[in-house]
Structure 1
Amino acid sequence: MREIIQPVLTGRGAPLRQYEYLLITVTHGESVPTAYQRLREHAEYGKWELERSTLYMGGERKYLMRRKVLRVERTLDVY
């Protein structure tokens, strides 16, 4: 199983509604219940939501998960 997190644009001028993406790849030899358990753990503890799942002809599966990036701006100026 392979997991890849894609970077997010940050700073001023970045789009207001931005998501962070996680791509989980499961090969044809790995069990599907184990993959589902991994997806559930990411959703529960990491606040990820499943956006897309793809099944390829060779039996490989790819799951694209996303979560909203919360941007916090400073409200107090500390000198």
Structure 2
Amino acid sequence: MRETLTPTQSGPGAPLRQYEYLEITVSRDESVPTAYQRLREHAEYGKWELARSTLYMGGHRKYVMRRKVLRVQRTLEIYS
């Protein structure tokens, strides 16, 4: 099983992305219940939701999960 997290840029000039994405690739040798267990753990503990699942010829699977990017703005001005 391979996991790839698409990085999001932050700071001034960064694109206003609303989601960050995690791709999980499962080989055909791995069992489906094991893959679902992994997806459930990401959903429960990492606040990810399943955006897309793809089954390829040959048995490989790819799952794309997403979660909202929370942008925190400073509320307190600090003067030096």
Structure 1: gaps (5+ residues): none
2:65 partner letter = M
Task: Judge conservation of contact 1:8–1:18 (CA < 8 Å) in 2.
Answer: no
Q: When the two structures are superposed, what TM-score results if normalisation uses the length of structure 2? A: 0.91
Q: When the two structures are superposed, what TM-score results if normalisation uses the length of structure 1? A: 0.92
What residue number does 2:48 align with?
48
User: % of aligned pairs identical?
Assistant: 76
CA drift at 1:60: 0.2
What residue number does 2:37 align with?
37
CA drift at 1:9: 2.9
Number of residue pairs the alignment of both structures matches: 78
Alpha-carbon distance in 2 for matches of 1:37, 1:62? 15
CA drift at 1:37: 0.3
Structure 2: gaps (5+ residues): none
